Structure 1
Amino acid sequence: MTMKKLVLLPLIFGLLAFLWSCNNRQPKENQTIVSGQLQVLVDETLSPIMEEQVAVFEHLYKRTDVALSVGQENQIVSKLVNTDVEVVVLTRQLNEDEMKFFEARQFRPRVHKFATDAIALIVNKNSPDSVVHVDDIIRVMRGKQPAGHVNRLVFDNPNSSTVRFLKELAGVDSLPDKGVYAMKSNADVLKYVYETPQTMGVLGISWIVRPDSTLQMYADGVKVLGVRNQAGKPGSDGFYKPSQSNLAEGHYPLSRSVYIVNAEPRKSLGMGFAAFLTGVTGQRIILKSGLMPDSLPPRELIIRSK
């Protein structure tokens, strides 16, 4: 019996070592900065451009699987600090209270700006209005009557980043009882403005520039307003539309930065995806989307002599 044990023990240890190495090697092969699975929660106002980014990323890196889901800003931040998700795309940075959740775990998320977005104000194509003053938007947000023809402001969701942005702009803590309405999504805003005159919609510019085939008719039936800022602020000398040049020069009043927040405690696919968004290919996709890339991709000119 003793001899049998002496013979079997090396075999057993060898088998256990083999199984252990297989189990530990598999995650390393699957979870790298260019392979594995990743869940990304993104602000719904940015979903058209992020869907395109994910499609190109997965095409270039065949061993990646990025599950993109959309949500409202409050929901996204809540899931991030509760570690329900580790990578998110937001139109603001985390505040001090939110950072405390990570500092308690002795960890700081990696935050990368990769674009400048614009909040677009849209009206029905037949509306007589083509421009709006920021002061009029503030009046509506404070429950007062604006100067123009539009008397209803329509948001995608009461907890969205666009609501938070305009509440901060107007200096209010809550939405007024009249003049402001909330739908369920940016697509709903687009459809509602298309069907309802005297309504001003608030949504991310990529929903106008890059609508999918189901929304193209609605995008064609609305127009984007030029916006004039308050006196003494950039963009107060005229009415500016959310074009890339106006975003680059800081003229458009309703612009905001876009960030990817990576709270993975390890070097994994989230780091690779962030590098892609801030790299040349990701920035070219941003450039084509109507948003302003954080760094302009280089252009190569080939000059031939005759």
Structure 2
Amino acid sequence: MKHYLGCFCIIFLLACSSNNKAIKVKGSDTEVNLAVRLAENFYKVNKEFSVAISGGGSGLGIASLLNGQADIANSSRPLNSDEIRMFNVRRIKLRTIVFAEDATAFIVQKNFPLDSIDVFTLGKILSGAYKSWKPITGQDMRINIYGRQSNSGTHSFVRKKLEIRFSPDAKEMNGNAQIMEGVKMDVSGIGYVGAGYILKDGTGQPVKILRISPKIGQPAISPLDQEAIRYGRYYFQRPLYQFIPETSWNKVAAFIDFEKGEEGQKIIQESGYYITH
């Protein structure tokens, strides 16, 4: 089965499925490939269910809950104050699950003359304070930024961690696949994607994953360093959320149990994410 990203849907259907066995999952593009793998394997042992999965960003998934169009919202960020208020106004009670942990990877072209970067310099780049690579690599090339739209949880996470506003020149892409493709084709490009989207060891990937130093002079760490992630040493690591309305809980409970079970946990790890304890 093909995996589609962005606003496209991955749908698992049974002709005889009843509404109380039809689960709709929407939201984070960071989580969408993982959600597909979990749903595929869940379906193998729960054929009475149908599961429809789509990406589009954390904000879209949360909005879908507010509009009664989803049973689970995958989100790479917590709810913001406006969203909490709207759920309260509509009297929608939610259950919140942290089902995995992810790290955001910063990528450049494979042969780009940079292997690591500190957080301060990265903020200068993504805010647009640095327009050229010259202060960093000595090459007088314009910096091209590939990022996500403002409704993306990853966009919000990176912005808050760097305490910046993104450069107005940054290209807003629909998802990880577009960012990867943009950076792959751009000798002066830099972008960010979910580390879980990249193969664990990066083998065969057409991009370079930068190691990140929290401060100038401190060790630089890769988002693929499992030990560093386990001990919370990578600067851009974060929990991944699932928000579920109470009215959908009975419907989705079997799927959540599968995620938390031995097979689900194995799939999470094999997909390049980290399990929570």
- Tell me if both proteins adopt one fold, taking TM over 0.5 as the criterion: yes
SS at match of 1:220: coil
| Structure possessing the higher radius of gyration over alpha carbons | 1
Matching of residue 198 in structure 1 with residue 188 in structure 2: yes
Cross-structure match for 1:238: 219
Moved more, 95-104 or 284-293: 95-104
Of residues 166, 170, 175 in structure 1, which corresponds to 2:162?
A: 170
**Taking structure 1 as the reference length, what is the TM-score of the superposition?**
0.75
- Per-residue Cα deviation, 1:114-158 (whole angstroms, up to 9, x for no partner): 111111111111111111111112112332116423823211434
**Counterpart residue identity of residue 133, structure 1:** D
Cross-structure match for 1:224: 209
Rounded to whole Å, the distance in 2 between the matches of 1:198 and 1:266 is 46
Cross-structure match for 2:274: 292
Unaligned 5+ residue runs, structure 1? 1-28, 211-215, 296-306
Identity between Structure 1 and Structure 2 (%): 24
Contact 1:112-1:274 at 8 Å conserved across structures? no
Cross-structure match for 2:53: 68
Q: Give the direction of change, closer, same or farther, for the CA distance of 1:168–1:72 in structure 2 (3 Å limit).
A: same
Rounded to whole Å, the distance in 1 between the matches of 2:168 and 2:227 is 37
Matching of residue 160 in structure 1 with residue 160 in structure 2: no
After TM superposition, give the deviation of residue 71 of structure 1 in Å. 1.1
SS at match of 1:293: coil
Rounded to whole Å, the distance in 2 between the matches of 1:111 and 1:294 is 14
Contact 1:115-1:286 at 8 Å conserved across structures? yes
After TM superposition, give the deviation of residue 46 of structure 1 in Å. 1.8
Within-5 A mapping of 1:1-306:
30=18, 36-145=21-130, 147-149=135-137, 151-172=143-164, 174-178=165-169, 180-209=170-199, 220-230=205-215, 237-243=218-224, 244-295=226-277
Rounded to whole Å, the distance in 1 between the matches of 2:261 and 2:85 is 30
Rounded to whole Å, the distance in 2 between the matches of 1:286 and 1:257 is 13
After TM superposition, give the deviation of residue 105 of structure 1 in Å. 4.8
Contact 2:223-2:234 at 8 Å conserved across structures? yes
Q: Give the direction of change, closer, same or farther, for the CA distance of 1:190–1:266 in structure 2 (3 Å limit).
A: closer
- Per-residue Cα deviation, 1:243-290 (whole angstroms, up to 9, x for no partner): 222211111111110011111415422222222222322111111111
Rounded to whole Å, the distance in 2 between the matches of 1:177 and 1:30 is 47
After TM superposition, give the deviation of residue 99 of structure 1 in Å. 2.5
Larger helix share, 1 or 2: 1
Cα RMSD, aligned residues only: 2.4
Contact 2:103-2:236 at 8 Å conserved across structures? yes
SS at match of 2:222: coil
**Taking structure 2 as the reference length, what is the TM-score of the superposition?**
0.82
Rounded to whole Å, the distance in 2 between the matches of 1:267 and 1:71 is 23
Rounded to whole Å, the distance in 1 between the matches of 2:148 and 2:85 is 30
Contact 1:41-1:68 at 8 Å conserved across structures? yes
SS at match of 2:247: coil
Rounded to whole Å, the distance in 2 between the matches of 1:267 and 1:76 is 16
Q: Give the direction of change, closer, same or farther, for the CA distance of 1:195–1:142 in structure 2 (3 Å limit).
A: closer
Q: Give the direction of change, closer, same or farther, for the CA distance of 1:260–1:177 in structure 2 (3 Å limit).
A: closer
Contact 2:76-2:153 at 8 Å conserved across structures? yes
SS at match of 1:55: helix
